[in-house]
């Protein structure tokens, strides 16, 4: 029996084409323990694959049938029906086996579509790094998981103990299923009959639904009013056209730059800002310099779409539900302002206003306003071309919280995690930040035709950080 796919998740299937692969990815780079080699890693993966239950998320296949009225649904395969040899690949880098060769390979892998006749994920064990490390590139369809749920899977499949061994493979259930509640944990029996309880539940759902629908009208009016005034919120009406807001091709280019997380924390503390405010300000300075060098800097400030996770804040659970629970904020990046401190103030003000607007809404209303905000982009994806109107925003900048402590898989230490995301028609560049232990990584994913070389942008990130520290007296 097919389970229906949530409307938000199905959009990533409906909008996918050869030019628009709809998967996200991550490049994890590991250092082996003393005396271990990539051959040991291969052997451990092979051993783990022979036993253990595969995570349900990795057994879900997208299908259509009469039971779903032609709409996409999830078909969950049995463990023995999953062809692991298709999903688990091995690649080797050409000489000299450095980061240049690694990012070139991962960029090509990130450009190809996932096979829809199978569960929508792949993992590539990459060998040949001359420094003795090895890499694991994973891509998973955005209909299956968003960044927050993917990070939960990563953390649940690893350990903070460098001496732990016999751990399951990354695609397997990391822990035994949670046992059923004991007698002491069983909820008390109420006097209500099952029928009365069911009727009470239905009435509660109906009241909630009516309240949500009624609340959408003032939420929409407030959101559109904020967009007209240029204050922060889920919708923006002032994004200028830039060289990033053009039709895209299928080829991707991905790279990343890492910074000590303490530098970012110190800036945030000194400026009474959030870490995300600092990240957005670094991106603002980088984009301003990059466009100015090409005589393409717009007079109006660029607008970033900033995804906001609507999941519970607890990220320790190993049972990630997958799917997407994401709202959006539109952030004024202040790219028209020459001073770094002024750009930070523009970002901070915009994000504070936006968060205040979202706090006044329920999660359902946030999702509805977010859907309205990205509707023009969705229309462009389905049409396969940019429309004549202004872009709804100029760039997507995400921040996904990563593990705060070193993580290990069977003694192999996770050194760094490079996020890879989704450019779309009208959005040829995506920036995703994530943290790992004591470092912050900014991952850039672009349409190769529009932004063929990411090195200038990466170098401008370094410069933007230096300039912001100088402006704040650090």
Q: Catalytic amino acids?
A: 142
Q: Parallel, antiparallel, or unpaired for β 429-436 and 72-76?
A: unpaired
Radius of gyration of the chain (CA): 23
Closest C-alpha among 343, 463, 434, 447 to residue 28: 434
3-state secondary structure string, the chain?
Answer: CCEECCHHHHHHHHCCECCECCEEEEEEEEECCCCCCHHHHHHHHHHHHCCCCECHHHHEEEEECHHHCCCEEEEECCHHHCCHHHHEEEEECCCCCCHHHHHHHHHHHHHCCCCCCCCCEEEEEEECCCCCCEEEEEEEECCCECHHHHHHHHHHCCECCCCCCCCCCCCECCCCCCCCCCHHHCCCCCCCCHHHHHHHHHHHHHHHHHHHHHHHHHHHHHHHHHHHHCCCECCCCCCCCCCCCCCCCCCEEEEEEEEEHHHHHHHHHHCCCCHHHHHHHHHHHHHHHHHHHCCCCCCCCCEEEEEEECCCCCCCCCCCCCECCEEEEEEECCCCCCCHHHHHHHHHHHHHHHHHHHHCCCHHHHHHHHHHHHHHHHHHHHHCCCCCCCCCCCEEEEEECCCCCCCEECCEEEEEEEEECCCECCECEEEEEEEECCEEEEEEEEECCCCCCCHHHHHHHHHHHHHHHHHCCC
User: How many CA atoms, within 13 angstroms, populate the side-chain half-sphere of residue 287?
Assistant: 31
Closest C-alpha among 445, 472, 433, 423 to residue 276: 433
Residue pair 209/368 in contact (Cβ under 8 Å)? The answer is no
Q: Residue 308: phi, psi to the nearest 5?
A: -125, 120
């Amino acid at each position: 029996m097919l389970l229906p796919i949530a409307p938000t998740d199905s959009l990533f299937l409906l909008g996918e084409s050869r030019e628009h692969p709809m998967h996200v990815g991550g490049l994890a780079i590991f250092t082996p323990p003393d005396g271990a080699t990539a051959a040991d890693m291969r052997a451990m993966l092979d051993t783990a694959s022979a036993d253990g239950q595969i995570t349900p998320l990795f057994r879900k296949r997208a299908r259509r049938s009469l039971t779903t009225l032609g709409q996409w649904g999830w078909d969950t395969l049995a463990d023995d029906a999953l062809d692991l040899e298709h999903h688990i690949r091995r690649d080797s880098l050409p000489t000299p086996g450095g980061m240049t060769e690694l990012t070139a390979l991962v960029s090509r892998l990130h450009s190809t579509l996932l096979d829809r006749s199978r569960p929508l994920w792949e993992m590539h064990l990459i060998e040949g790094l001359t420094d003795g490390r090895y890499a694991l590139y994973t891509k998973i369809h955005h209909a299956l998981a968003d960044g927050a749920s993917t990070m939960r899977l990563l953390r649940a499949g690893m350990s903070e103990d460098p001496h732990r061994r016999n751990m399951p493979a990354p695609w397997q259930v990391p822990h035994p299923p949670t046992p059923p509640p004991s007698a002491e944990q069983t909820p008390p029996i109420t006097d209500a009959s099952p029928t009365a309880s069911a009727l009470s539940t239905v009435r509660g759902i109906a009241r909630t639904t009516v309240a949500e629908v009624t609340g959408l009208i003032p939420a929409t009016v407030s959101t559109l009013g904020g967009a007209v005034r240029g204050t922060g919120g889920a919708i923006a009406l002032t994004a200028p056209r830039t060289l990033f807001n053009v039709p895209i091709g299928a080829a991707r280019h991905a790279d990343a730059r890492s910074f000590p997380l303490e530098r970012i924390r110190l800036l945030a503390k000194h400026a009474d800002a959030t870490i995300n405010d600092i990240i957005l300000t670094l991106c603002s300075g980088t984009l301003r310099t990059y466009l100015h060098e090409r005589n393409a800097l717009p007079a109006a400030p660029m607008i970033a779409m900033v995804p906001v996770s609507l999941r519970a804040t607890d990220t320790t659970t190993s049972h990630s539900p997958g799917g997407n629970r994401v709202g959006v904020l539109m952030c004024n990046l202040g790219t028209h302002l020459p001073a770094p401190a002024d750009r930070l103030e523009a970002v901070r003000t915009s994000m504070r206003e936006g968060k205040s607007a979202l706090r006044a809404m329920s999660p359902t209303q946030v999702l509805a306003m977010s859907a309205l905000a990205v509707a023009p982009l969705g229309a462009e994806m389905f049409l396969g071309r940019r429309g004549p109107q202004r872009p709804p925003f100029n760039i997507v900048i995400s921040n996904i919280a990563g593990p705060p402590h070193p993580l290990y898989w069977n003694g192999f230490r996770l050194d760094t995690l490079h996020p890879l995301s989704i450019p779309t028609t009208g959005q040829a560049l995506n920036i995703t930040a994530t943290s790992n232990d004591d470092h912050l990584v900014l991952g850039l994913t672009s349409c190769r035709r529009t932004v063929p070389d990411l090195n200038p942008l990466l170098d401008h990130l370094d410069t933007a950080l230096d300039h912001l520290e100088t402006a704040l007296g650090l």
